[in-house]
Amino acid sequence: MDDNLLAASIPMKWVGPIKISGNVADIETAVPLATFESPLWPSVQRGAKISMATETGVTATLIDERMTRSILLEAATAASAYVAVRQITSSTAQLREVAATSSRFIELVGMRPEVIGNLIFLRFEFTTGDASGHNMVTLAADLLMRHILETVPGVSYGSISGNYCTDKKASAVNGILGRGKNVVAELLVPRATVADVLRTSAARIATLNVRKNLIGSIVAGGIRTANAHYANMLLAFYLATGQDAANIVEGSQGITHVEDRDGDLYFSCTLPNLIVGSVGNGKRLDFVEANLTRLGCREVRDVGDGARRLAVIAAATVLCGELSLLAAQTNPGELMQAHVRLERELVSGH
């Protein structure tokens, strides 16, 4: 292996400011987006502009937070697996203590077993402070696994991860049982702003959302996903803030819900699986430090506040880009013209 550490320099810009309110933060902040796809910047910028033109901006509500790891245990039969599961679930208090020994920032907050034939998939749910928690939950799961193997008769090691966690895979479980921060971002855009800035109407965006994001995603065999391009904004934000960006796989599984409220536009993005942290892997890099600091995620505060602030900013950023693209797609040709215009500007050095 080449020992020289190189760098992939992904183009990055600060876009915004976005006005954000809600149960985690009331702020106006620009956001850093690292991407090869330069049209993303003006797209998010347009949404940000709209947020600033409203009174409360994007309201981002944190609904839940937890990080998960599932272990896999093997029993001889389902009958004995069931006995083991009953013993495990009845010793929750002890398991919480075991988990707590692995880190002072981790707490076991839930557990869900599934018995499939003679196999047990045991999904642990933790809070992990300001870390996204990938490594913390693996370490805790390792201790929990050992404890179970020592105290519960009739089960043996299957795998430290049984894919029921599930990390970076397209599935339903993370949306239904929770993994990462669950945030709903929403924005009420006055009719005039919809017309002037977005050159469309609430009715047309609502109709497009039903046809494209809801029906189109269902027709595509989508799983718990109904949006136009959450993955784009998440990738750019995750890269700029040192996140494990492979988590856009589940992060992108969110739902855009739109209502035409007498001409005003109610626009919401529900993102149940934002896996972000303000500490941990990748956060010590200079540009990441600088970005997290500028976003206000590095100030002294309660444990977990940094990660929660990141999550609501991520969600608001997603909303800005999603709103902009959907608005554009209500107008025939607009998307293509924007692309062509941007390409020209890039070539001519603008």
**Residue from 43, 51, 232, 278 that binds a second copy (CB under 8 A)?**
232
- Taking CB under 8 A as the criterion, which residues in 146-165 touch a second copy? 157-165
* Closer Cβ to a second copy, 165 or 198, answer by number: 165
- 347 sits near a second copy (criterion: CB under 8 A): no
- Tell me how far apart the alpha carbons of residues 321 and 243 are, in angstroms, rounded to a whole number: 19
Using DSSP, state whether 73 is helix, strand or coil: strand
Q: Output b/e per residue, 88-116; b: 16+ Cβ within 10 A.
A: beebeeebeebbbebbebbbbeebebebe
Residue of 107, 244, 264, 334 with catalytic role: 244
Q: Which long-range contacts (CB under 8 A, 24 or more apart) does 296-305 make?
A: 296/25, 296/27, 296/29, 297/241, 303/105, 303/129, 303/130, 304/65, 304/127, 304/129, 304/130, 305/24, 305/130
Q: Which candidate, 206, 222, 210, places its Cα nearest to that of 262?
A: 206
Closest separation in Å from C-beta 250 to a second copy: 8
**Footprint of a second copy on residues 162-201 (CB under 8 A)?**
162-173, 175-177, 182, 184, 186, 188
Which amino acid makes up residue 43?
S
Binding status of residue 263 toward a second copy by CB under 8 A: no
- Which of residues 58 and 95 has its CB atom nearest to a second copy in the complex? 58
Q: Is 30 in the site for a second copy (CB under 8 A)?
A: yes
Cβ pair 107, 99 in contact under 8 A: yes
208 or 313: whose CB is closer to a second copy? 208
Residue 209, token pair as written in the block: 């959302």
Least gap, CB of 301 to a second copy (angstroms): 21
The interface with a second copy within residues 72-111 (CB under 8 A) comprises 72, 74, 77-79, 81-82, 85
The reply to whether 339 belongs to the active site is yes
Give residues 39-78 in contact with a second copy (rule: CB under 8 A).
41-42, 45, 59, 61, 63, 70, 72, 74, 77-78
Q: Interface residues for a second copy in 295-324 (CB under 8 A)?
A: none
Is 122 an interacting residue with respect to a second copy (CB under 8 A)?
Answer: no
